[in-house]
Structure 1
Amino acid sequence: MQAALSPALQAKLDVTLALLHQIAAEHGPAVFANSLGAEDMVLTDLIARHEIAIESFSLDTGRLPADTYALMQQTRERYPAQPVKLYFPRAESVEAYVNDKGINAFYESVELRKQCCAIRKLEPLKRALAGRQAWVTGLRREQASTRTDMAPEEWDDANGLRKFNPLLEWTEKDVWAYIKAFDVPYNALHDKHYPSIGCEPCTRAIAMGEDIRAGRWWWENPENKECGLHARK
């Protein structure tokens, strides 16, 4: 039996489910890029609960917080029919970067940070998307200034396939209302003022009143705060 949701959230949920079913039917094989954030746990639950034919993967950069790994295991146990396949960076690329630039070189410049993201995220992403017709994300419009003009369906030039953002119009309040209603597992760091979670050294808690993305790459300007996974022309 479905838990009670507000009429407004139920309407958004109906639109999201219709899009997910359409993706599976018309753009397969499709895959869900699961970062294990709150939004992505909503999509994990929806895809599993409604048995939608969309596979799931996550990028293990090698520098994720311990709480994220704990959620990986919890997700595996909660949704055995919806396994999250893990992709890792090439060991030789990580070794070359660390030995040449330093273990925490990403703090030194935007260029070095983006090089690290390219090795730990972008290259594994390309392998995860290989042979797919579409990929699904948990991006929301209100998350960042870099995401305000996104559309529910876009063409991803960098990877040469369709990209869908089914939760684009959901608010943070919507996400947590769904998680509470369906008892969806989530990262324990969210309860410690981490609304957005990435690699451990690149993520911090935020203070009251700060933007929800303020804890990601906090030493950089807001317009630079993307790793390249969602680069757009």
Structure 2
Amino acid sequence: MADLYTYENWSDTFPEFDSKDETKGALSALRWAYDTYGDSIIYASSFGIEGIVLIDLISKVKKDAEIVFLDTGVHFKETYEVIDAIKERFPDLRIHMKKPDLTLAEQAEKHGDELWKSQPNLCCQIRKIIPLRESLAPYDAWISGLRREQSESRANTNYFNKDEKFKKVKVCPLIHWSWKEIWRYVYKHDLPYNKLHDQGYPSIGCEPCTAPAYNVDDLRSGRWAGTQKVECGLHES
């Protein structure tokens, strides 16, 4: 069945799901995705608040699902703490910590110190995009926590998307969820989450490139603050 729904055999015949049900179609989309792709799908998680919701939903569908975390080497300690908490809460999940080929010292020697300041796009390429491409290579599809309300660039995201960057099918179950609904779910199910969310960080990435949000209407305004950069490149064509 998955042969009908790959990047190479892309069509617009993916099923639609009821966006008004209890999980706004997320659980149905995940069930369909795992039924279709089996072991050929992986969730790439940053372990932000959307990721915590997705992990809980995924665990209801496939207890031993595979998850990859892009361990750039410059994450907040609180991010590693929540990963440990998730491992304890969901011990059957297979969580892979994917590191870049270059250590921070090797990167500094080759490109200069604090590359995230001088060439942030190159830094993301080395520490995020290339590692994710390597991680996704064996799979037909991957899951992402994108929501339509997060930013203008994500407003047209569908449950199933043709990912031109990684040549995969990208599954986005949370497209219809609001920020309030994400938090309501976390509190209802008493899920662990990154404590930086309580300190003004709605969106959390690498420590050098993440600050508290300065615009309450833009949850990602603390990412690469003071620059024109708005995405790490994982979700750009």
TM-score, structure 1 as length reference: 0.87
Identical-residue share of aligned pairs (%):
35
Q: Is the 8 A contact 2:30 2:61 kept in 1?
A: no
Greater fraction of residues in helix: 1
| 1:75 equivalenced with 2:86 (yes/no) | yes
Aligned equivalents of 2:147, 2:24: Cα separation in 1: 16
Structure 1 residue matching 2:25: 3-state secondary structure: helix
Deviations along 1:19-68, whole A, 9 cap, x unmatched? 10100111231111111000010011111134366421111000000100
Aligned equivalents of 2:156, 2:20: Cα separation in 1: 24
Q: Return 5+ residue gaps in structure 2 as ranges.
A: 1-17
Other-structure match for 1:5: none
Q: How much does 1:139 deviate?
A: 0.6
Among candidates 2, 24, 28, match of residue 34 of structure 2: 24
Among candidates 44, 63, 66, match of residue 55 of structure 1: 66
CA gap 1:194/1:18 in 2 versus in 1, 3 angstroms? same
Q: How much does 1:9 deviate?
A: 8.9
Structure 2 residue matching 1:154: 3-state secondary structure: strand
Aligned equivalents of 1:80, 1:126: Cα separation in 2: 26
Among candidates 149, 167, 190, match of residue 183 of structure 1: 190
The number of residues matched between the two structures is: 219
Q: Is the 8 A contact 1:204 1:216 kept in 2?
A: yes
Q: How much does 1:96 deviate?
A: 4.5
The within-5 A match list for 1:126-137 is: 126-137=133-144
Aligned equivalents of 1:10, 1:53: Cα separation in 2: 28
The within-5 A match list for 1:152-231 is: 152-207=159-214, 209-221=216-228, 224-231=229-236
Deviations along 1:104-156, whole A, 9 cap, x unmatched? 23223xxx101000110011101211110100000111111211122221111
The within-5 A match list for 1:63-102 is: 63-91=74-102, 94-102=104-112
Q: Is the 8 A contact 2:201 2:212 kept in 1?
A: yes
Q: Is the 8 A contact 1:9 1:174 kept in 2?
A: no
Q: Return 5+ residue gaps in structure 1 as ranges.
A: 1-7
Aligned equivalents of 2:117, 2:36: Cα separation in 1: 43
- Deviating beyond 4 angstroms after TM superposition, the runs of 4 or more aligned structure 1 residues are none
2:158 maps to a residue whose letter is A
Structure 2 residue matching 1:212: 3-state secondary structure: coil
Aligned equivalents of 1:30, 1:53: Cα separation in 2: 12
Q: Is the 8 A contact 1:31 1:135 kept in 2?
A: yes
Other-structure match for 2:154: 147
Q: How much does 1:231 deviate?
A: 1.4
Q: How much does 1:225 deviate?
A: 0.8
TM-score, structure 2 as length reference: 0.86
CA gap 1:89/1:62 in 2 versus in 1, 3 angstroms? same
